[in-house]
Amino acid sequence: MSDSTKTERHATNSDLMRNFIIGFSDGLTVPFALTAGLSSLGSSRLVVLAGLAELFSGAISMGLSSFLAASTDAAQYAVEMAREKTEIEECPLEEENEIYNIFAEYGIGRMHAFMVVETLKSNPEMWVKFMMDFELKLTRPNRAGAWIEGLVMGLSYLLGGILPMIPYFAFKRTNDALFTSIGITVVILIAFGYGKSAVVGNPMRDSVVSACYTLLVGVVAAGTSYGIVRGIDSADPVRA
């Protein structure tokens, strides 16, 4: 006998999770690439100072950008909602036809949609909400949570960026710190790439591909940074 009540489970990707993934990914890649590039100069002190400067400035920039983006989304939603209210008050027939057009996109004719339309017309607040959800396809943002999104973005960037730098505090020789940092970062990139895919419910194969892709991005970024800094330093006539 089968259970008639079945609970469906869907993976959700909240704004906070998205901000954490973006912040941690960028924090792990950018400072790692920078410190790897500066390691070619052979000065651990320079790597630490430059790395910390980039880490904190990057965290502040990422956090502020996330806060401003969330605030802008909230402001845009408020403007569109006010415009939709005005259109319903001033052009009710046109807005009513838009509801029928929306249902038509789902293969629902006017006869079947009639009762829903009449119900919405009797409740202007729900009418506006319906138009925001289905015509404009805008989700009400949480204005109060904008600062939380910014904080999550900044702290995740800080966390991701500090991990590859730990060896530079522990080792005096730059090469020892560099290779240790590479080992730590490779492991974290693979784990993070796999985890961020698996957490949303992707199959193992896709998660493995995500891990490989994340590792490839980190390796390319670090290798490019190292090569550029090494090339510029080698071409410096003063050092030559």
* SS3 letters across 82-112: HHHHHHHHHCHHHHHHHHHHHHHHCCCCHHH
Residue 81 has pLDDT above 70, yes or no: yes
- Percent helix, strand, coil in the chain (nearest 5)? 80, 0, 20
Under the banding of pLDDT at 50, 70 and 90, the label for residue 144 is: low
Query: How many other CB atoms sit within 10 Å of the CB of residue 44?
Result: 22
Is the distance from CB of 33 to CB of 47 less than 8 angstroms? Answer: no
The more confidently predicted of residues 239 and 189 is: 189
Burial class (CB in 10 A: 0-12, 13-18, 19+), 172: exposed
pTM over 0.75: no
| Measured distance between the N- and C-terminal CA atoms of the chain, rounded to whole angstroms | 83
The more confidently predicted of residues 234 and 93 is: 93
Residue 9 has pLDDT above 50, yes or no: no
- Residues 99-116 have a mean pLDDT of 92
- Residues 154-162 have a mean pLDDT of 91
- Residues 159-164 have a mean pLDDT of 89
The mean predicted confidence, pLDDT, of the chain is 83
Under the banding of pLDDT at 50, 70 and 90, the label for residue 235 is: low
